[in-house]
Amino acid sequence: MKALVQRVTEAAVRIDGEVVGKIGPGLLVLVCAMQGDDDALPARLAAKVARLRIFRDDEGRMNRSLLDTGGAALVVSQFTLAADTSRGNRPGFSTAADPETGARLYEFFAEALRAEGVTVATGRFGADMQVSLVNDGPVTIPMEIAAAG
């Protein structure tokens, strides 16, 4: 699974002009399931995201996690993280998981993050969404976790 994690002061996702998910300080997490990803990966990725130390401590260093700060997460599916731009000018997405698997692993990830103790808002898998955010820092961290083997 791939994720792009952005530290935010606020973020929201809209579908057809309606806000379906919104958070204050925390993380915007764009998530993509890849071909070959299994049901164990969402929990592993959620544990890493919840503990990722990218929030400022009292000395201004990135030393605190989402769990330490009590921040929330806005989780949005984003198959374009699977983009292959190695040939031509049009990205290919053949390494992304099929939609059924992608939806299942996206939901598993959001639930696993909740199980870590994080307040989670979500977008809607497969929908045309408009995401707004105020990136804090800016801090943007790409993450990837693969199946063992």
Query: pLDDT digit string (tens) for 86-123?
Result: 999 999 999 999 999 999 999 999 999 999 999 999 99
Distance between CA atoms of residues 116 and 28, nearest Å: 16
Residue 80 bears catalytic tag:
yes
Q: Which of 78, 109, 122, 125 is labelled catalytic?
A: 78
Q: What is the pLDDT of residues 2-11, one digit of tens each?
A: 999 999 999 9
Can you read off the two tokens belonging to residue 9? Answer: 């002061």
Q: Which of the four pLDDT bands, split at 50, 70 and 90, describes residue 147?
A: confident
| Other CB atoms within 10 A of residue 134 CB | 13
Contacts of 112 (CB under 8 A, 6+ apart): 42, 43, 45, 46, 47
Pick the CATH number of 2-144 from 3.60.20.10, 3.50.80.10, 3.40.50.300, 1.20.1510.10: 3.50.80.10
Annotated catalytic residue within 6, 55, 79, 125: 79
Residues 6+ apart with CB under 8 A from 138: 6, 7
Tens of pLDDT, residue by residue over 116-142, are 999 999 999 999 999 999 999 999 999
At residue 85, does pLDDT exceed 70?
Answer: yes
CA distances from 41 to 19, 78, 101 (A): 29, 16, 12
Say what the pTM is.
Answer: 0.95
The answer to whether 79 is a known catalytic residue is yes
Q: Is the pLDDT of residue 66 over 80?
A: yes
Mean pLDDT in residue range 28-46: 97
